[in-house]
């Protein structure tokens, strides 16, 4: 099948590359010339394990091309995927400007019948609106149809998730279009669930909101565990042994970040509000997460009797989670700003996200080249992202030299034996 993918971000690039890898002819289109130039050289503009290798293989085989030119991108394409961003508006609603622009561009460019697939996360009703835009701007001889095909991949394991997903959701009113998208995805060998468009759109938001709820729930349990002398890790294991609860997504810590849970929870609250429904639980999930991102700073302040003036902290991990360079809504944004505003000096290091961190974080941060330099001459170490290389810090020579180390672990990466030689704070234990 000849496929165009619009948007080469975390979703579009992975989708396009994986579709090429299962044998389709894919052209990825982006307005960002710098990104496209890099991609043409088989260089990934994002950090995603395994992606560069897959890019190179499919560019070399001729299955995968990149362009900024819409006409070239849509030439002879049967299907166009929309994978542009749907960021948060000031009122929490999803910003659909990019999706609308792309729909119009597809309509104005396509010279042949085309199925438009929305991969971007969009509120209920958006696919119908996309169809209206397409019909309004398309050439008379062109037939268009729209399919909702929300994406469930996680950053850091995006390629694995594409080939091993739990399900592919296809929402369409047009049976032929739904069958075509199912056929395109068949080589992935992932279960397909077909439904109407509105339900597909809702499945995406409800799934992310449920996962965010699980995290805020275990974080509140963790906060109670601290007060009653229980250990949230044991509690989560015990809970997770019940199949109805499941053992995943019960890691307590300093809250969820990233490009999706924060914005999608707020967008679903907004979707509900528009139909006069107050999504009470989800409002609390968001509030708990805001509180949780500050938790470590409260612990630091308590330890230093409320005075951080003149203190120096070594922050390990800046990305919103390990194995990604994505800084969107990372807890590190909140934590480092609070420390700096309280008069502290902040040294910081992330194995992969340093370049992005410098664009997002406060200029006052003193960036380091490695973990060893970051933990030297500090009053305390803060662990904000559970990168593997921080998991054995206590075995590190630089760490062993520290007199009376104080560690605030926002991701619960150490167990009791490992921390016996330090003053150690974690979440819910």
Ligand X SMILES: O=C(O)[C@H]1O[C@H](OP(=O)(O)OP(=O)(O)OC[C@H]2O[C@@H](n3ccc(=O)[nH]c3=O)[C@H](O)[C@@H]2O)[C@H](O)[C@@H](O)[C@@H]1O
Ligand Y SMILES: NC(=O)C1=CN([C@@H]2O[C@H](COP(=O)(O)OP(=O)(O)OC[C@H]3O[C@@H](n4cnc5c(N)ncnc54)[C@H](O)[C@@H]3O)[C@@H](O)[C@H]2O)C=CC1
- Residues of the binding site: 30, 35, 86, 121, 152-155, 204, 249-253, 257, 263, 321, 328
- Structure token pair of residue 169: 């959701």
- 260-289: contacts with ligand X (CB under 6 A): 260-261
Q: Does residue 29 touch ligand Y according to CB under 6 A?
A: yes
Part in contact with ligand X (CB under 6 A); list of ranges 48-56, 256-264, 310-318, 366-374: 256-264
Q: Does residue 260 touch ligand Y according to CB under 6 A?
A: yes
Cα distances from 308 to residues 312, 341, 362, in angstroms, run: 8, 9, 17
Q: How many degrees, rounded to 5, is the angle at CA 325 between CA 321 and CA 330?
A: 45
32 or 174: CB nearest ligand Y: 32
CB 167 within 8 A of CB 191: yes
Q: Does residue 205 touch ligand Y according to CB under 6 A?
A: no
Q: 120 is in the binding site of which of ligand X, ligand Y, none (Cβ under 5 to 8 A by kind)?
A: ligand Y
Which are the contacts of 315, defined by CB distance < 8 A and separation ≥ 6?
Answer: 332, 335, 336, 339, 346, 347, 348, 349, 374, 381, 382, 384
Instruction: Supply the minimum distance, in Å, between the C-beta of residue 160 and ligand X.
Output: 12
Q: Is there a catalytic annotation at residue 260? A: yes
- 192-211: contacts with ligand X (CB under 6 A): 208, 211
Residue closest to ligand X when measured from CB atoms: 260
Q: 256 is in the binding site of which of ligand X, ligand Y, none (Cβ under 5 to 8 A by kind)?
A: ligand X
The closest of 48, 94, 96 to 262, measured between CA atoms, is 94
Which position has the token pair 């999504």?
279
- 113-132: contacts with ligand X (CB under 6 A): 121
Instruction: Supply the minimum distance, in Å, between the C-beta of residue 367 and ligand Y.
Output: 23
Cα distances from 133 to residues 68, 136, 145, 271, in angstroms, run: 22, 5, 11, 21
Work out which of 151, 226, 325, 409 binds ligand Y, going by CB under 6 A. Answer: 151
Q: Does residue 324 touch ligand Y according to CB under 6 A?
A: no
What whole-number distance in Å separates Cα of residue 325 and Cα of residue 226? 32
Part in contact with ligand X (CB under 6 A); list of ranges 34-42, 56-64, 136-144, 252-260: 252-260
CB 300 within 8 A of CB 339: yes
């Amino acid at each position: 099948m000849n496929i165009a993918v619009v948007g080469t971000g975390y979703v579009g690039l992975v989708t396009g590359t994986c579709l090429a890898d299962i044998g389709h002819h894919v052209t990825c289109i982006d307005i960002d010339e710098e990104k496209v130039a890099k991609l043409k050289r088989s260089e990934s503009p994002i950090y995603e394990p395994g992606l560069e290798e897959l890019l190179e293989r499919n560019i070399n085989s001729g299955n995968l091309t990149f362009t900024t030119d819409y006409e070239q991108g849509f030439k002879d394409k049967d299907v166009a995927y929309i994978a542009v961003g749907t960021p948060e508006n000031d009122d929490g609603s999803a910003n659909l400007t990019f999706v609308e622009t792309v729909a119009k561009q597809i309509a104005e460019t396509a010279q042949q019948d085309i199925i438009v697939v929305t991969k971007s996360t969009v509120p209920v009703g958006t696919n119908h609106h996309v169809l209206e835009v397409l019909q309004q701007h398309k050439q008379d001889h062109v037939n268009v149809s729209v399919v909702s095909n929300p994406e469930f991949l996680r950053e850091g394991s995006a390629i694995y998730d594409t080939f091993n997903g739990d399900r592919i959701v296809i929402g369409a009113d047009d049976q032929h279009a739904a069958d075509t998208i199912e056929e395109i995805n068949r080589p992935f060998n992932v279960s397909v669930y077909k439904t109407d468009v509105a339900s597909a759109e809702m499945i995406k938001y409800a799934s992310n909101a449920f996962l965010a709820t699980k995290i805020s729930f275990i974080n509140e349990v963790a906060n109670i565990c601290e007060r009653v002398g229980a250990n949230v890790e044991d509690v989560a294991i015990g809970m997770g042994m019940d199949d109805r609860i499941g053992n995943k997504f019960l890691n307590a810590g300093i809250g969820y970040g990233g490009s999706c849970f924060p914005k999608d929870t707020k967008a679903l609250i907004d979707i509900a509000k528009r139909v006069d429904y107050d999504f009470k639980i989800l409002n609390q999930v968001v509030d708990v997460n805001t509180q949780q991102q500050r938790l470590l700073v409260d612990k630091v302040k308590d330890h230093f009797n409320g005075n951080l003036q003149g203190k120096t902290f070594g922050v390990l991990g800046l990305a919103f989670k390990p194995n990604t360079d994505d800084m969107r809504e990372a807890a590190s944004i909140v934590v480092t700003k609070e420390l700096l505003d309280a008069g502290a000096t902040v040294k910081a290091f992330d194995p992969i996200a340093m370049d992005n961190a410098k664009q997002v974080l406060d200029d006052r941060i003193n960036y380091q080249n490695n973990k060893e330099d970051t933990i030297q001459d500090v009053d305390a170490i803060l662990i904000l992202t559970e990168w593997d290389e921080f998991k054995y810090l206590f075995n590190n020579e630089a760490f062993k030299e520290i007199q009376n180390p104080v560690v605030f672990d926002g991701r619960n990466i150490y167990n009791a034996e490992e921390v016996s030689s330090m003053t150690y704070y974690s979440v819910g234990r």
